Amino acid sequence: MADGSTDTSDISAVVGIGHTDYVDDYRRVRNGEKPHDSYGYATVAFKKALADAGIDRSEVDGLIVGPTTAYERMGEILNIDPTWGGQADAVQAVFQAVMAIKSGMAEVVALVYGNDQRSAAVQYGGPQAMGGQSFLSYVYHSPWGLTSQGALYALMFQRYKALWDLSDKDLGQVAVGQRQWASLNPNAIMSKKPLTIDDYLAAPYVAEPLRLNDYCLINDGGVALIIMEASRARKVAQKPVYIRGLGRSDLNHQATSLGPRLVDFYRPAQQKAAQQVYSAAGIGPKDIDALLVYDSFTPHIFFALEGFGFCEQGEAAHFIAQTGIGVNGKLPINTHGGHVSESYMQGWNHQIEAVRQVRGGLDQRQVTDCRHVQYISDVAGKAMSVIYGA
């Protein structure tokens, strides 16, 4: 059994990032255009990441693609025959790249994601929900109307809200804080749409207690990262951003009855993942300059803050109110606007923001003296975290 410590620090570094123009992609799709399919969006992002890294495609010997595209076909389009490759979601792709580099199977790994979910009218809930057997909610809970992740997180937060006597306004702090950051981000779809707490409370419920602005956007786009072996990165990259640590722990026991979600809000897995990632990086929660949390729905932020030790159990609402997570807050969270205000790229755009914050130069959006950025994901009981650093 693993002892909770992992040797994942400074094995690799991000040397290139790229993404499509989320705002223009959104505008064009709303106007009835179809700029690209998922492969096209991924290809645009990949070319930008290569240019940012200053390397040629021939140097890429590892390829990981998002679950929205087929690995073999994506490799064919990009003309890459890697020595190591596969398919994964955003955070697992980073883990796999680090492990491939550590094992010597690859030195330069491209992580490539594209999604035409809006133009393709993908449904994440209802009788035609995508995923089928891949998602427990669609299989086991559809007789009760729980066919979407939104419904599950609504149920999860409803219990949390009752336990700690919270109000809708407490949850609204998250959406408002992230919209503040989005207003400083020209890449954010919602950058020109301010959100006050009154606006938040006036919006309708989608699945109570979650309102419209608690839900992520649905938009087309693409993201790519180039991750390189650390010593090579130090020689060739202008400003490499190192992966300082990884942490992961899963909760599968009683998952079909929603036990891990409703009883402990995934906290035991988060605490184990926290021990790993902080041990690897040699730091703790107080050393994190900016926090990026997978936010398909705003309650993710509450669970991440408590599970990874930023505050005690049941104190997230008070912590957010007192500390501040928006612009001028003491713990900046989702400084790009996150999934609810920048772009829903299923965690991939959070990796881009982490790299940009560590690199610096983001004007008003830049976190001062930003040296450590942590990413946290707790999707479907997989508690995972990455710490990026200078």
Cite the active site residues: 294, 344
Beta-strand pair 221-229/382-389: unpaired
Closest listed residue to residue 383, CA positions, set 140, 137, 91: 91
CA torsion sign for 377, 388, 190, 175 is positive
- Return the DSSP state at 84: E
Q: Helix (H, G, I), strand (E, B), or coil: what is residue 293?
A: strand
Q: Which residue has the tokens 């006050």?
A: 196
What's the CA dihedral at 59, 64, 68, 73 to 10 degrees?
50
Q: Yes or no: say if 275 and 307 are a contact pair by the CB < 8 Å rule.
A: no
Q: How many CB atoms sit inside 10 A of residue 197's CB? A: 13
Tokens, residue 8? 């994942």
Closest listed residue to residue 384, CA positions, set 130, 33, 92, 59: 92
CA torsion sign for 317, 323, 325, 328 is positive
Q: Helix (H, G, I), strand (E, B), or coil: what is residue 111?
A: strand
Distance from C-alpha of 67 to C-alpha of 89, rounded to nearest angstrom: 6
Angle between helices 149-163 and 168-182 (to 10 degrees): 120
- Alpha carbons within 13 A on the beta-carbon side of 75: 17
Q: Yes or no: say if 315 and 325 are a contact pair by the CB < 8 Å rule.
A: no
